[in-house]
Amino acid sequence: MAASLELEPDRFVALLEKLVGEARHLQNNPPEHTPVEDRAGRHVLDVLTPLGEEAGGPLRIRHVSYAEGRGNIIVEYPGEPDGGILSFVGCHMDVVTANPEAWTFDPFSLSRDGDKLRGRGTTDCLGHVALLTEFFRQLAESRARIKRTVVGVFIANEENSKEEGYDVQCIGFGKMSTYHANDEYALLSDFVKGFRVMRELVMHFNG
């Protein structure tokens, strides 16, 4: 049942560790840094593809590329045919640049200090990529019957407004210095809460 879903911290952190480990290749500031979002996307697909329709699961998964190595991922958990749609949009697989010499720890490797998960992308936005991936994994494994189809969109090129044609441009979103400082971190407890919010949204619109 969808009502019983809870974030599994160990699995979430393990996935986030893989994503942050790709962050060096996800930096978006051309021409110096052109991200290869598929390096993050492959970890999303590794988790969700075994639960896709082609493998006998409920998820509809599309990987839509606009340039080599740069794709968006659209995931659907089907509800009733005329039940409407609930969408989670905006988890992006690129990050802002990081100069390791200016950091007190390796920005391209996830580290943990109590509740803090540190590394480039933990807040903006690889943490949310991991969160949404885990939400769809659990939803698919539960095979919950819901009215509204739940859609998740993982996008490329959010951090760069210079190059068009890769995704829905979100110019100016997520540019707070707290996100992009030389000490980027997110709280695991906040992700646990965020997972519950997503669960409650699904339950609210499918009650």
| Active-site residue list | 94, 158
Triad 182, 187, 189: Cα angle to 5°: 180
For 67, list phi and psi in degrees, rounded to 5: -155, 160
Residue position matching structure tokens 């669960």: 199
Residue type, 204: H
d(CA 37, CA 16): 15
